[in-house]
Amino acid sequence: MELKIIDERDISKLRGDALVVGAYEGNRFTEMAKAVDVVMGRLLTALAKDLDFKAKLGDTIYIPSHGKKLKVKNVILVGLGKKKKLDEDGIRKAIFSSLKKAKEIRARDIFFEPLGEGVLGGRCTKAMAEGALLGDYEFRKYKKDNEKIDIESVSILADKSREGLLKLGKVLGEVTNFTRDIVNEPGNAITPNELARIAKELSKEYGFECTVYGLEEIIKNKMNGILAVGQGSKNPPTFTHIAYRPEGAKSKVVIIGKGITFDSGGLNIKPERSMKTMKCDKSGACAVLGIMRAIGEIRPEVEVHGLMPCAENMPSGEAFRPDDIITFANGKSVEIHSTDAEGRLILADALIYGSRIRPDIMIDMATLTGACVVALGSYTTGLFSNDDNLARDLLNLSIKTGEKMWRLPLDEDLRDEIKGDYSDIKNVGSRYGGAITAGLFLKEFVGKDIRSWAHLDIAGPAFLEKPWKYYAKGATGVPVRTVVELILNLNVG
């Protein structure tokens, strides 16, 4: 899909398959919708009345123009909901709905007025680019026959001064879809070594430093969590460090992503229903790749380190066992009470490593606990942090990006739940407060001098079992856009 800005407000000069204009609830047409309505002899008003069009957010109707005074073939009217409540995520939903209607009428070249410009100003352009790319996404790599109708071009009728915002929206949409592609790949295609290969290829493209630790280096560096989780698989584990170090960096950020390329549960094997989508357990590591790609495109004055601990959790005669005790590089010993609580073990190694980089901010992202999904549902990330300011910034940004987050407490009263009988700690607590005890476990491996750390439990929103908002079934790329926006804010802070 080609996304572009056309500095043209004279609708009579447009030639294409469709023009999309907006209306707020109460059928309060935008100025461009009013102009179209006048040219069409009030047919848009009549159609909205006849179809009882309420202009709720995402509602759409269309009418052929018949090529008289208007040369575009069709006009699509999209609802923008209540004007006072319209936000950037509403714009994403509106453009997604508009493109869905455009596909129904087999339109390929589409013009858009800058939806919500009167409320959001130039920010609407960025949100429209994101919504178009995210909403048009499908993972079709392995489908031989697929009659998907491709939108060829989306042109936004706006001032050329918005080009920068359009470019940023395109980058955020494209890197999110890049992330989704890797998450959606099955376990036989994406192994720990393959994730490392993608990281090296990405680093070569953007001039990043890239270090990949294989089995020998993992043992040498006492990354015993990664070693234990990966030892049951014929596909060896890896640990990858991508580094972007611009001159004059204003701050330093470490991002960490859980990279379990397939999670069978290990010897505590999952039931069939729970195992079916476990290709998604690498979503955190894939998010690291997506974020680093955005950093390569935007090149902020912020030093960014991406860490990917990767393993495949499989049962075999060499797999780690319940009751095993692992000692980590920081001296902490952990008793294994469930081999299906493996993500926190590989993250522990990465948190120790990341703390040694001495970042200003450290963020880990992981499809970590079913308990978080029980607590918050399928669409909301659980946010844990030792820094109120970082938590506030992430929550505020998540509202703008539409990547919903909710802060959960690192409740010290639950620490006894992970106190070990024969070790310092154990890798699971009781069935109650499981997302919190997982966060407390990770905190044990965050360096004492790291004052700004956040753990994002993306077990719900990283991979959807049915379409939601502008996302197709499958990977969403959460929380790539929110973390990139946080880094960009540090660039100007």
Q: Which residue of the set 344, 404, 426, 481 is catalytic? A: 344
Q: What is the 3-state secondary structure (H, E, C) of 224-283?
A: HHHHHHHCCCCCCCEEEEEEECCCCCCCEEEEEECEEEEECCCCCCCCHHHHCCHHHHHH
Residue tagged active-site, from 197, 270, 400, 473: 270
Spatial separation of the C-alpha atoms in residues 32 and 60, rounded to whole Å: 16
Is 73 known to be catalytic? no
Active site residue 344: yes
Smallest CA-to-CA distance from 278 within 232, 334, 342 is with 342
CA distance 263 to 368: 11
| DSSP three-state, residue 362 | strand
Cα 200 to Cα 456: distance, rounded to the nearest angstrom: 25
Extract the tokens encoding 259.
């990279």
Asked if residues 120 and 26 have their Cβ atoms less than 8 Å apart, the reply is no
CB 78 within 8 A of CB 98: yes
Strand partners, 6: 157
User: Which pairing describes strands 18-24 and 2-6: parallel, antiparallel, or unpaired?
Assistant: unpaired
Positions marked active-site: 270, 344
